[in-house]
Amino acid sequence: MELSSRGVDLHVTDQGSGRPLVMISGWTFGASVFDRNVERLAAGHRVVTVDLRGHGGSAGVGHGWDIPTAAADVAALLSELDLDGAVLVGWSMGAQVAVHTALSHPGLSHPGALAGLVLIDMTPRVLAEDGWPHAAFGGLTAEAAFGIADGFQRDREATGGELLPSFFASPPDEETAGHFGTDHGRCPTEAVVSYLASMGAQDLRGRATEIAVPTLVLTGAESAVYPSNPGSWWAEELPDATSQVIPDAGHALFWEQPDAFADAVEGFTARLG
């Protein structure tokens, strides 16, 4: 679909009826990573998935590869599709986009506009610093992030192949590796690097108390990307947040444990009324 207020074409799917769930995927991946979740959730919700600029079916959008622009696109999508009362469900970088959407577009905070957030295995601050335990991979420095970016520019396939296993509690099988690998390959290298820099620049810690909607934070018990369980931080800092750990799951917990993931999301939306 084309977002008329933004002038870009983004790949969006829309199925089911009920309270809207807007599924926002993570860094370098399109919304096809939610393929194990959409059918069940659409039995009781209107499920909208969006491929962010440079990702999946929106890979052809060749500009605006940063978190604030992605958040503005999501806000425009809510308006274009009349998604009042929606819950934003964001994984990893998509969780940053969801939070940024809620914080940067005040009109969404009025009753009925945005009902809640589901944040999947994500920290408010990706990079390490003194006294901060919730950096990516337990201690991702700016220098290490630059090294990852350089690796993608030098050898895209090898660098992506090294990172992919860290998303799962167990080594990915052939189907999983193929699915995620193919989807990752659609994201241009320039977008990969640009979004990585934008993620590193975000620090949402000082604004957590501004999140006015109920929030569910899901983390994988065996996440190698966020082994410190940043969900505990969100639950303590946000005005209305619940943290839940999904057993036998890593960073891509919705793929490894789709039933547990759906149970958690459905339980959360049921509490919203």
pLDDT tens-digit series, residues 83-142? 999 999 999 999 999 999 999 875 665 545 799 999 999 999 999 999 999 999 999 999
DSSP 27: T
Residue 109 is predicted with a pLDDT of: 52
CA angle (260, 256, 211) in 5-degree steps: 60
**Single-letter amino acid, residue 87:** V
Task: Judge whether 2 and 8 are in contact, CB under 8 Å.
Answer: yes
Residue given tokens 């994984």 in the structure block: 91
Q: Are strands 45-50 and 86-91 parallel, antiparallel or unpaired?
A: unpaired
CATH number listed for the domain at residues 2-272: 3.40.50.1820
Average pLDDT over residues 229-256: 97
Task: Judge whether 226 and 135 are in contact, CB under 8 Å.
Answer: no
Give the C-alpha separation, 71 to 61, whole Å: 15
Average pLDDT over residues 55-71: 93
What is the residue-averaged pLDDT of the chain? Answer: 94
Average pLDDT over residues 55-84: 92
pLDDT beyond 70 at 167: yes
Residue 212 is predicted with a pLDDT of: 86
Residue 108 is predicted with a pLDDT of: 60
Phi, psi of 160 (to 5 degrees): -65, -40
Residue 151 is predicted with a pLDDT of: 96
Indicate the pLDDT class of residue 4, thresholds 50, 70 and 90.
low
Task: Judge whether 101 and 75 are in contact, CB under 8 Å.
Answer: yes
Count of other CB atoms within 10 angstroms of residue 85: 17
6 token code pair: 């933004």
Q: State the pTM of this model.
A: 0.95
